[in-house]
């Protein structure tokens, strides 16, 4: 389809960006995935700057109630409505398109580039906020010892460890600046994260990719999974916990299970063969792994 460079082109461009911004954004976000965070709440149009989530105070052991005794005292599973709050934060992205770009560029390329910029920034800021919340709340470390920017914090957790809430889906507005001969696009979203149970998440510190500090490995993942099982943390629909790891920990794991770095490579397991072929073990020690470049350091 051919487009002119007049107002009808901009109107069509705006319509296409509005239509595709949310799918592009969802494709780029990692944490807005029910396999990673099971509780996903959208309260758009409901009003308020936060969501208050009741969290059950579960008993730690089986309850045996004596005749005539208090059931509450034996098994207290009260709800504490103030235990978990999602506070919404606005995340924004901007892209300016000159009239010359509209005239000289191919329509699909201009639209695609604008969508990549707008959705990419919104997705990055959303995931970064989520991993920052993990760093604050998940303080039990199963990796190496480190407390500076030479170490990255990866996370092993239950899908029930956190909640995500949104009060404004990705939205874009545009206007024309006649002084600059510029079409200005502004995209925003409002969302937030909270931790429902900090026992359901573990940290694995490991050296950054290319660093010289100590690295974590498969044992750290297995240890995190064991700790989650010990507190009865729920698993996902696939029967596994969730691991969000950086490229440095991924490399360390692959080196260990595929024997890379040794003088010879011996007979490998199915996991080792897969790691050697694909450079990634997607399921390991009861944990489904996802790679992210937005994990915080240990400083």
Question: Would you state the pLDDT for residue 2?
Answer: 45
Banded pLDDT at 286 (limits 50, 70, 90): very high
Banded pLDDT at 56 (limits 50, 70, 90): confident
Pairing of strands 151-157, 241-245: antiparallel
Question: Would you state the pLDDT for residue 21?
Answer: 95
Residues 6+ apart with CB under 8 A from 2: none
Cβ count within 10 A of residue 239: 9
Average pLDDT, the chain: 87
Question: Which is more confidently placed, 81 or 200?
Answer: 200
Name the residue among 209, 225, 205, 185 with its Cα closest to residue 296.
205
Q: Is the pLDDT of residue 167 over 60?
A: yes
Pairing of strands 151-157, 201-207: antiparallel
Q: Is the pLDDT of residue 208 over 80?
A: yes
Instruction: Provide the percentage of residues in the chain whose pLDDT is more than 70.
Output: 87
Distance (Å, whole) CA 59 – CA 109: 57
Residues facing residue 297 across a β-bridge: 152
End-to-end CA distance of the chain: give it in Å, rounded. 53
Question: Which is more confidently placed, 104 or 258?
Answer: 104
Question: Would you state the pLDDT for residue 72?
Answer: 81
Tell me, what DSSP letter sits at residue 68?
Answer: T
Q: Is the pLDDT of residue 5 over 80?
A: no
Residues 6+ apart with CB under 8 A from 194: 53, 84, 85, 86, 87, 133, 162, 163, 165
Q: Is 283 exposed, middle or buried (CB count within 10 Å of its CB: 0-12, 13-18, 19+)?
A: middle
CA 39 to chain centre: 13
Q: Are 295 and 154 in contact (CB under 8 A)?
A: yes
Longest CA–CA span in the chain (Å) reads: 84
Distance (Å, whole) CA 263 – CA 246: 27
Cα-trace Rg, the chain: 24
Question: Would you state the pLDDT for residue 199?
Answer: 95
Q: What is residue 144's three-state secondary structure?
A: coil
Banded pLDDT at 249 (limits 50, 70, 90): very high
Banded pLDDT at 37 (limits 50, 70, 90): very high
Distance (Å, whole) CA 253 – CA 220: 10
Banded pLDDT at 277 (limits 50, 70, 90): very low
Question: Which is more confidently placed, 55 or 259?
Answer: 55
Q: Is 64 left (phi over 0), alpha (psi -120 to 50) or beta?
A: beta
Tell me, what DSSP letter sits at residue 133?
Answer: H
Question: Which is more confidently placed, 193 or 49?
Answer: 193
Helix axes 270-278, 247-258, angle to 10 degrees: 130
Question: Would you state the pLDDT for residue 46?
Answer: 83
């Amino acid at each position: 389809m051919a487009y002119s460079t007049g107002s009808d082109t901009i109107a069509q461009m705006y319509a296409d960006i509005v239509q595709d911004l949310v799918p592009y954004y969802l494709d780029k976000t990692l944490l807005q995935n029910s396999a990673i965070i099971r509780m996903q709440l959208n309260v758009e149009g409901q009003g308020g700057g936060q969501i208050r989530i009741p969290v059950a105070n579960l008993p730690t052991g089986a309850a045996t109630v004596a005749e005539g005794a208090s059931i509450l005292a034996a098994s207290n599973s009260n709800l504490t409505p103030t235990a978990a709050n999602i506070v919404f934060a606005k995340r924004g992205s901007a892209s300016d398109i000159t009239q010359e770009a509209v005239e000289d560029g191919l329509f699909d390329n201009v639209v695609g580039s604008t969508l990549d910029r707008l959705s990419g920034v919104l997705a990055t800021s959303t995931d970064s906020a989520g991993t920052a919340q993990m760093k604050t709340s998940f303080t039990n470390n199963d990796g190496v010892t480190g407390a500076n920017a030479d170490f990255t914090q990866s996370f092993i957790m239950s899908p029930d460890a956190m909640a995500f809430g949104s009060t404004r889906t990705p939205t874009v507005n545009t206007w024309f600046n006649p002084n600059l001969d510029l079409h200005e696009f502004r995209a925003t979203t409002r969302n937030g994260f909270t931790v429902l149970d900090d026992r359901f998440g573990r940290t694995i510190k490991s050296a950054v990719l290319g660093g010289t500090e100590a690295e974590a490995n498969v044992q750290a993942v297995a240890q995190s999974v064991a700790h989650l099982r010990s507190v009865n943390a729920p698993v996902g629909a696939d029967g596994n916990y969730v691991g969000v790891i950086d490229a440095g920990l991924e490399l360390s794991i692959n080196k260990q299970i595929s024997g890379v770095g040794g003088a010879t490579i011996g007979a490998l397991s199915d996991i080792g063969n897969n790691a050697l072929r694909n450079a990634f073990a997607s399921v390991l020690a009861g944990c489904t792994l996802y790679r992210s470049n937005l994990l915080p350091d240990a400083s």
